[in-house]
């Protein structure tokens, strides 16, 4: 059955983790937002693990190894023993689809195995789109660099004919630099879709605005080298103002978290740091609303959903320049600086701490208004629609 007789384009999607999971961060949220915003023209049929990242037990709220409707998508939660190439090939060949959508370059299970199934088991002849999700940023590639270079060298032939989705010109440059065999015409820019902003500025019912002498900072992300918490702590060691930093997120790399704990113990007395555990998705925005500033010196984001969530409740952001969120000071949303100058981050925090409380409140309103304007931009939705329609029009790989 083709897309015309079915009326909606059916996109068979592979991703490591999906709802109700949340620990893997951006990719699953991007897909959930795509399913919500593009449902008038597209159907997302998503194949994913039957558990959240780092968990040994399957979700107890879903059916395993069968299709079911979850929110605005159809989802197949696959058990570990069914993740072989043959089983994946069976899912592909038995599921009517118009496009195949992959959400990682380096994922051996949910990218390489589908590609092998398509090449050797002739599971499908449909076009393939791959979204690397920031994996080719400089910050990402310096983590396990030899392994990644070897992987690219050994398996690049299996990516022949695959079209690439990038979320910005920055990611496009990163991708073309990393994959010299990839042609520019085979890359499509379509920004990741954020959750729609709330109609009014939400404030935490427990919020107590910081005093003139102190500010409350939040770091909310997966705790791993890529997200650069150790850098944030090193910056705070150079700050003389009274600061409280609360850290939220799963401890994805325990050894790395141990290194961060050492840095925390060595901080001066004016810096208070607390680890507050995980935050469920529905609590992320109210949590952000309780803080003065989101400090996120990440080594690389192809989008950064947590950034959108922070500004959507009026909380300004202090970021590295390794995300698509640039020129933030001129936009009134915060600041973005290069990672090679930690003192610039420290000075920004000092300046922010000197702003009177009432002025900080007024700035929150301005951040929220600008965020609503930015996150409600229909051009992002349109670029995602055109991504799939253009690849579909241009035919199979």
Q: What are the chain's domains?
A: 3-195+377-394 (3.40.50.2000), 214-375 (3.40.50.2000)
d(CA 199, CA 201): 7
CA 118 to chain centre: 27
Which is nearest to 157 in space by CA: 186, 132, 179? 179
Q: Is the dihedral of CA 184, 185, 186, 191 positive or negative?
A: positive
Rounded to the nearest 10°, the torsion over CA 209, 280, 44, 223 is 90
User: Could you write out the DSSP letters of every residue in 381-394?
Assistant: HHHHHHHHHHHHHH
Cis omega before residue 390 (within 30°)? no
CA 13 to chain centre: 17
d(CA 275, CA 47): 33
Contacts of 327 (CB under 8 A, 6+ apart): 336
Low-confidence residues in the chain, pLDDT < 70? 1-6, 199-213, 395-397
What are the tokens at 97?
Answer: 């689809």
What are the tokens at 176?
Answer: 């073309």
Which is nearest to 1 in space by CA: 90, 95, 118? 95
pLDDT of 196: 75
Angle, helices 113-120 vs 85-94, to 10°: value is 70
pTM of the full structure: 0.88
pLDDT of 4: 45
Give the containing element (helix H, strand E) for 230.
Answer: helix 229-236
For the beta carbon of residue 341, count every other beta carbon within 10 angstroms.
10
Which is nearest to 135 in space by CA: 107, 115, 155? 107
What are the tokens at 395?
Answer: 């035919």
pLDDT of 214: 79
What are the tokens at 279?
Answer: 């935050």
Question: Is the CB of residue 392 less than 8 Å from the CB of residue 13?
Answer: no
């Amino acid at each position: 059955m083709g897309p015309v007789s079915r009326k909606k384009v059916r996109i068979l999607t592979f991703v490591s983790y999906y709802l109700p999971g949340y620990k893997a961060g951006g990719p699953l949220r991007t897909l959930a937002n795509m399913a919500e915003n593009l449902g008038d023209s597209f159907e997302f049929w998503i194949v994913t693990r039957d558990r959240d990242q780092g968990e040994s037990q399957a979700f107890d709220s879903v059916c395993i190894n069968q299709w079911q409707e979850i929110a605005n998508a159809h989802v197949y939660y696959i058990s570990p023993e069914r993740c072989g190439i043959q089983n994946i090939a069976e899912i592909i060949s038995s599921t009517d689809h118009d496009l195949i959508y992959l959400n990682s370059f380096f994922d051996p299970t949910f990218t390489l195995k589908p590609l092998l199934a398509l090449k050797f088991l002739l599971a499908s002849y449909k076009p393939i789109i791959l979204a690397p999700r920031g994996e080719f940023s400089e910050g990402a590639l310096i983590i396990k660099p030899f392994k990644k270079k070897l992987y690219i060298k050994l398996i690049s032939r299996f990516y022949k004919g695959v079209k690439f989705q990038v979320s910005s010109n920055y990611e496009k440059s990163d991708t073309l630099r990393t994959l010299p065999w990839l042609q520019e015409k085979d890359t499509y820019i379509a920004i990741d879709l954020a959750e729609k902003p709330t109609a009014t500025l939400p404030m935490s019912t427990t919020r107590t605005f910081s005093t003139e002498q102190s500010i409350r900072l939040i770091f909310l992300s997966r705790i791993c080298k890529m997200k650069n918490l150790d850098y944030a702590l090193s910056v705070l060691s150079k700050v003389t103002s009274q600061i409280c930093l609360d850290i939220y997120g799963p401890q994805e790399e325990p050894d790395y978290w141990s290194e961060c704990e050492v840095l925390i113990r060595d901080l001066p007395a004016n810096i208070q740091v607390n680890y507050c555990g995980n935050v469920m998705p529905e609590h992320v925005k109210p949590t952000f609303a309780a803080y003065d500033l989101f400090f996120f010196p990440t080594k690389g984001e192809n989008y950064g959903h947590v950034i959108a969530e922070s500004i959507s409740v009026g909380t300004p952001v202090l970021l590295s320049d390794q995300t698509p969120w640039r020129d933030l000071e001129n936009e009134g949303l915060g600041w973005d600086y290069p990672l090679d100058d930690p003192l610039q981050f420290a000075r920004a925090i000092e300046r922010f701490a000197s702003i009177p409380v009432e002025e900080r409140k007024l700035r929150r309103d301005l951040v929220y208004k600008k965020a609503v304007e930015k996150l409600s931009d229909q051009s992002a939705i349109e670029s995602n629609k055109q991504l799939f329609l253009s690849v579909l029009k241009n035919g199979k790989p």
